[in-house]
Amino acid sequence: MRGRSRERSDRVEEQAVHRLTAILENPSPAAEAELAEWIARDPAHGVAFARAEAAWEASARLAQGEQDGDGDGASEADGLSGPAAPQSAPGLDSAPHPTCKDIARGTG
């Protein structure tokens, strides 16, 4: 039983990453509406999307630290240390995207 639950969770997490990537690459009202619909279908979708979004934002902060020249990709303020996250795909980090909270409020 636990194996099936884990497989489902992994599938949902993977879908969330794909949906986040899609909204970052091509932000549009239609894409946002589709994402909002997907999140509304299952609470697990919202949780998975929020996790994917948090990971994306953390990697962006780490990458920014790397660009700032300290070499470890982390700042003293965030309490992170270790190797830097891989650089993001070109163009994805420049476009603002709706957050999970924005979509839930209908403002995304």
Average of per-residue pLDDT across 87-102? 53
Q: What is the pTM of this model?
A: 0.60
Residue 87: which of 104, 65, 105, 103 has the closest Cα?
A: 65
CA distance 30 to 21: 15
What letter represents residue 17's amino acid?
Answer: V
Summarize pLDDT for 38-89 with one digit per residue, the tens. Answer: 999 999 999 999 999 999 999 999 888 877 665 554 444 444 444 443 444 4
> Which one has a higher pLDDT value, 80 or 7?
7
- How confident is the model at residue 73, as a pLDDT? 47
Q: Which two tokens stand for residue 29?
A: 């009202």
**C-alpha of 9 from chain center:** 16
Q: 27-31, 41-45, 93-97 — which is least confidently predicted?
A: 93-97
Question: What does the pLDDT read at residue 92?
Answer: 46
